Each structure stands twice: as C-alpha cells, then as structure tokens.
Structure 1
Amino acid sequence: MQYEARRVFTSIFIEVDQETVHWRYQNRFDEWKYSIPLSHVYPSPVKSNSKAKFARAVVLLCVSPIVAGVPLHFLGVYPSVVMVASVLTFFYAFYHLAPWYAGPIEWATFETELPGRTLYLFRGSDAAEFEQFVSTLDEMVTQARRQAESGDRHPTLGNTDD
C-alpha cells in the first residue's frame, strides 16, 4: 500500500509493507527518509487544517514589497530602483511562501513511540484517496499493535533464561 501527495515544493511518499511503514519527505532540495515498524505507531490519527500559515503568507506577501521599498525611498534612491527592489522582494516572498497560496492544507498526524518521529500526511489533490489511505493505515496500525501485544503476553520457551 502506498500514498503520494504533492503541493508546490513539498511532497510526501509513504509505503507500507507487511510490518513496516516507510516515508519520505521532500521540500525543495531537502529530503528526509524514515522507517518504523507498524507496531510502534499509535492508532487514531489527529486531523487538522493548517489555516494560520496561509493567512500569514498572504500578509507577508503584501507587506514584504513595502518593507523593502520604503527604506530605499527615504534614502533617496532612484524610484526605478525602489520599484525593482519591491518587485524582486514580492517574487522572492511568493517563491518561498507559494505552498500556502494553494489554500489551507489538511493534515493527518500519527504519533509514534520514537521521539521526534511523527508521521505526517497531508492531502494532495485527491481528498477521497487521502481519507481512504488514512483509514486503511489506521486499521493496519491497530492490527499490528494488537498482534504485538498478544505476542508480548505469551512468551515462547526460547525466551526464558532457564
């Protein structure tokens, strides 16, 4: 089972084999890869919409050209230089904030037993596929945790120190 989501400069690829979940995050040229057994992932993901960063990105996009142009204007720089600096600042801000202009991002977060290894999924272009993958992964995690718990309660003879 696998899932892939892309938004502007960010992508997530998640693959689940028999007992392990592998995920890869990419943001521009940075990439992170993780693997963890399904039995170390907690079921019942937390779902949320990231709206605050969207609003912040819109405000920064509007304010950044002003912040770049006003000091140059008061320093007596040519008006054409002020305009070019403002336009370049606008495009630079748009380039860095672009993932948030496509709208708020819907997230599903699975906590794990390993500190700092939270499994984040965001919805790509297909909401139905996202919902189906999250619910299927949740079921697989629940099943893997049940199997791990039942295996811990019934030790085999090979694990005794006698």
Structure 2
Amino acid sequence: MAGVKAAAWERIEVATLLLLTLTGLFALIAVADIAALLAVIPGLPTPSLSLLENGQRIGTAETFLFYTQLLAAVAWYALATLLVRSRDGDPDAVLRTRTVVFWRIGAAVVVAAGFALPHATLADEHGFTLRLELMIPLLVARLALTVPLVIAVLRLRPRLRELLFAAA
C-alpha cells in the first residue's frame, strides 16, 4: 500500500511541477507581450513592421501558454480529485477553497473576454488600435490570475499529502 501511495503522490508532484513551470513561463511571456504592445501602440496607426512582427510572435506564444496553463490546471485539479476519491474523501470538501473558486471565475471571465475582443486588421486603423489597447487589460488580468492559481496549488498540496498518507 505504501508503494501505491508513493506513486500517487509522485503523480501529484510531477503534475504540480509541470503546472508551476508552465505558469512561470506564461508569466514571463505575458510580461514580454505587454511590453511589446506598449512599444507598438504609440506608433499607431503606422507602427514599425518589425515591432508588429515581434509583438505577433510574442502574442502567439503568450496565447498558447495561457491556454496550455489553463489545461494543465484543469488536469491537475482532475488528478487531485481522483486522488481524493481514491481515499474515499469528498473532493469538494478538500479541494474547493475560495482561492480555487476565485481562480475558476476569473479564468472563465478572461477566456470570455478574449473571445469578445473585436477582430480587426491593420487596414482598419481604428479597430486595430482598439483591439491592441483592449489587449493590455486582458493580459494584465491573465497575468494576475497566476497568483491565485499558484496560491491554490501550494495550499492544496499539503491537504492532499495529509489525506493520502493518513493512517487507513
């Protein structure tokens, strides 16, 4: 039984390390994306093409990492839920904290806001400027969500460990 518990804990630890690494990478790229936007916006409506291309590359990486981090967080939570259920625990009682609820609501709002951004091309000067200006608060919100995510994961780890290794 000790080997099974150790293997279950190792899975949680690997998932935690992966999630925290993705979150750190996302945070770095999000800061770079904000800086790139702040460099492009003053030059509108005719920004430097090199700044635009650089911003586009960084923005693509940021979006990819944001959704990858989101999926990793969902996978981590699902793995934690399975662990709690395997010990006949109530996942809601163990895993549902105010920080988790806040992160979930924030993530849903940020995803919805991202889809609600106006679509625009460089040919539509006003629309393009508006989209870029709206991206800054969206990126700041995405970046800010890393804080409750990290807090939730780091606070839940000891609960999971205690539940897993409690005398049966």
Tell me the TM-score normalized by structure 2.
0.30
Question: Which protein has the larger Cα radius of gyration, Structure 1 or Structure 2?
Answer: 1
More helix, by proportion: 2
TM-score computed with the length of structure 1 as normaliser:
0.31
